[in-house]
């Protein structure tokens, strides 16, 4: 080869892609943590990125269609369980090798729905803790929603609120509420 042919070859090659600032920052940011998860024990939970979220959503719709379930309010629990199972299949990793997933899509979909929900709560808790927009305090609507769920003894909104929000709620309460409201007697004294 000659100097001229070497120079021509160098010009023909595309320039090397320089890593973007965002890619470097993302690599440095906490994207997961070690947690204890029901059934599987100590695992690394990796947060799912946007591209993977879109792939998971497409897989959920395909799986539900293959199962013969249309997208409707009646089938939303099945969709939610499938979405959680496929998210967990991507996110739950070997604590010693973060590239190794704990289970396949089929493994997670074969789990009992209650186990999937329990594991999904762990994933959502990690996601909420590592989120740059995580709650530092609760909004009035969140406070009202939690208070109303407690008053009505309705666990579903409380489960949806997440551990971080419920912890912030408890910390914001000050003194624990009385177990029953005190009533005033006709003389104005509490009973």
- This prediction's pTM: 0.62
Place of tokens 């199962």: 67
Fold that domain 31-132 belongs to in CATH: rbstp2171 (3.30.2220)
Distance in angstroms (rounded) separating the CA atoms of residues 86 and 64: 12
pLDDT tens-digit readout, 2-56: 565 665 666 666 666 788 888 777 777 768 899 999 999 999 999 998 888 899 9
Average pLDDT over residues 171-176: 71
Of 75, 78, 26, nearest to 49 by C-alpha is 26
Amino acid 89: pLDDT: 96
Q: What is the DSSP string of 59-95?
A: HHHHHHHHTT--SSGGGHHHHHHHHHHHHHHHHEEET
| Helix 163-172 with 140-151: angle, nearest 10 deg | 90
Distance in angstroms (rounded) separating the CA atoms of residues 17 and 96: 31
33-40 contacts: CB < 8 A, separation 24 or more?
33/126, 33/129, 33/130, 34/95, 35/122, 35/125, 35/126, 36/122, 37/92, 37/119, 37/122, 38/115, 38/118, 38/119, 38/122, 39/111, 39/115, 39/119, 40/92, 40/102, 40/103, 40/119
Mean pLDDT score of the chain: 83
Least confident interval from 2-11, 112-121, 133-142: 2-11
Domain range summary for the chain, segments of one domain joined by +: 31-132, 135-173
The residue among 181 and 34 whose pLDDT is bigger is: 34
Amino acid 115: pLDDT: 94
């Amino acid at each position: 080869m000659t100097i001229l042919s070497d120079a021509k070859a160098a010009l023909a090659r595309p320039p090397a892609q320089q890593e973007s600032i965002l890619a470097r920052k993302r690599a440095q940011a906490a994207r997961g943590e070690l947690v204890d998860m029901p059934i599987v024990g100590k695992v690394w939970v990796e947060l799912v990125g946007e591209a993977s979220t879109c792939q998971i959503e497409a897989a959920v719709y395909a799986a539900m269609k293959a199962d013969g379930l249309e997208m409707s309010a009646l089938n939303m629990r099945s969709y939610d369980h499938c979405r959680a199972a496929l998210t967990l299949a991507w996110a739950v990793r070997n604590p010693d090798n973060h590239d190794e997933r704990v289970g396949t899509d089929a493994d997670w979909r074969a789990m009992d729905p209650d186990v999937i929900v329990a594991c999904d709560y762990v994933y959502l808790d990690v996601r909420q803790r590592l989120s740059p927009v995580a709650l530092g305090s609760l909004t009035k609507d969140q406070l009202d929603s939690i208070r109303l769920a407690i008053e009505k003894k309705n666990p579903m909104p409380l489960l949806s609120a997440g551990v971080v929000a419920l912890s912030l709620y408890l910390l914001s309460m000050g003194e624990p509420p009385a177990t029953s409201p005190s009533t005033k007697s006709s003389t104005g004294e509490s009973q």
